[in-house]
Structure 1
Amino acid sequence: MTSTALQVSDTYPASHSGIRAAEGTAGASLDLLRIVRINEQIKAVVAVAFKINIMALNAIFLAKRAGSAALGFGVLSNELRVFSRDLRTQMESLRQLIHASVVEVSRLLQHSRYSRLLAAGVQLSGGNARLEEVLRRRDREAQVRRETLSRLRRELKLALEDAFQLVELGGVLAKSAKIEAAYGQSFTGALAQVSGEFDGIVEEIRGSLETLKKSSFFGGR
């Protein structure tokens, strides 16, 4: 009876580690899927931001053709070009954080799978002390990786908030351009069309960022 109780006591930590490893594998797999989706959204935003840059350059040339009547529109078009550049820089920061997160999640996934095998080995061996020590060490390493991933998660969320604030500024610029387009005299129609496209694209980016903010990845576990 005593021997059985001792065996249960000795093997329980390994069993517990095995459960944690199984949960870690499932959680890491979900995180990896979420990160891939976030990365796809970021790539889409970068592509649209580049489109704004091209549109802004064309708008600047159009404003020059319109002359003094479109001076304000030209200034705003240049600001939208700067906005496009800043947004791409911000999204690149997000992509770097995403890359770091992928590395950590992949390592956690690999770690969890190996820990499950170790935990099973400990139980089958009836409590091999050497294997148990390896398992405990790997549990500590996994905890460090989880903390690193949590930090990256927080940094990503903050960077996303910064990007969202930047897009809010872009929205103000686009709407201001629509107002300025009304003073373009004979170019009013062309300027209004361009400013409307600016506004639509900025709204598209805002929608993409809103979707990113709702990702389950930022909710943690």
Structure 2
Amino acid sequence: MSAALLPAVAAKPSGAAADLLRIVTINEQIKRVVGVSFKINIMALNAIFLAKRAGTAALGFGVLSNELRVFSRDLRNCMEALTGLIHDCVNEVSISLRNGRQDRLLAEVGQAGAAAALLGRVLQQRAAERDGHVRRLAALRRQLKRALDDAFQMVELGGVLAKSAKIEAAYGQSFAPSLAQVSGEFDGIVEEIRGSLEALRRSPFFAAH
């Protein structure tokens, strides 16, 4: 292999730097969803207490509040799993970036000396390794997208629970205004999470993959 061909082996663009920025953005959004899920848990505990005070008139509201508490726990667990996938993606992209820099340096060295043939073989081997990282990242990308889709479906269910709580609040007699306020807050927060996850599903990180 001639020295002139060495850069072609090392210069295959991967968009790794852009991917890294997109992954960081996704991770920040996931952190925000986790924070909001903690808020739902606290609100649900307060709602359960309020439903107990309201007595039999708010039994349905109490049941739904407990379900929303379970939802917040399941959502946190789901987000933790997503965070694990994000870390794996960051690792693969970081390796690709580091290897790309090293390959460019090797190619530049090869142009200057008689070791071009040897370096060419080294770069070919590294190119095969790079392709392996690309395949692993593609698999992680698909896993992350599926996990986001699952989380979105979970939040859709959370939205149904929140809207059902709004209906049940109307039967709370003298506690109805307080129950309605709490259920409205539930609904607003779940919609906020839904919007965040919908935006993540449209991330350029998943485009054309």
Measured against the shorter chain, the TM-score band is over 0.9
1:79 aligns with 2:67: yes
1:89 aligns with 2:77: yes
Deviations 1:167-210 (A, max 9, x none): 00000000000000000000000000000000000000001001
- Which residues of 2 match residues 1-221 of structure 1 at below 5 A? 10-20=2-12, 23-24=13-14, 27-125=15-113, 128-220=116-208
Determine helix, strand or coil for the equivalent of 1:62: helix
Question: How far apart in 2 are the matches of 1:121 and 1:204?
Answer: 53
Determine helix, strand or coil for the equivalent of 1:183: coil
Following TM superposition, by how much is the alpha carbon of 1:16 offset from its aligned partner in structure 2, in angstroms?
1.2
Query: Which of the pair has more CA radius of gyration?
Result: 1
Q: TM-score, normalised by structure 1?
A: 0.91
Counterpart of 1:199 in structure 2: which amino acid? D
Indicate conservation of the 8 Å contact 1:53/1:84, yes or no: yes
Structure 1 ranges of 4+ moved more than 4 A: none
Question: How far apart in 2 are the matches of 1:163 and 1:206?
Answer: 9
Aligned residues: 209
Following TM superposition, by how much is the alpha carbon of 1:19 offset from its aligned partner in structure 2, in angstroms?
2.5
Deviations 1:54-113 (A, max 9, x none): 000000000000000000000000000000000000000000000010111100000011
Indicate conservation of the 8 Å contact 1:182/1:192, yes or no: yes
Unpaired runs of at least 5, structure 2: none
RMSD: 1.3
Deviations 1:129-159 (A, max 9, x none): 2111111111011000010000000000000
Question: How far apart in 2 are the matches of 1:91 and 1:118?
Answer: 40
Following TM superposition, by how much is the alpha carbon of 1:118 offset from its aligned partner in structure 2, in angstroms?
1.3
Question: How far apart in 2 are the matches of 1:182 and 1:210?
Answer: 30
Indicate conservation of the 8 Å contact 1:17/1:116, yes or no: no
Counterpart of 1:195 in structure 2: which amino acid? S
Unpaired runs of at least 5, structure 1: 1-8
Determine helix, strand or coil for the equivalent of 2:2: helix
Indicate conservation of the 8 Å contact 2:2/2:116, yes or no: no
Question: How far apart in 1 are the matches of 2:208 and 2:21?
Answer: 14
Following TM superposition, by how much is the alpha carbon of 1:122 offset from its aligned partner in structure 2, in angstroms?
2.1
Question: How far apart in 2 are the matches of 1:19 and 1:107?
Answer: 15
Question: How far apart in 2 are the matches of 1:83 and 1:165?
Answer: 12
Percent sequence identity is 65
Question: How far apart in 1 are the matches of 2:168 and 2:4?
Answer: 72
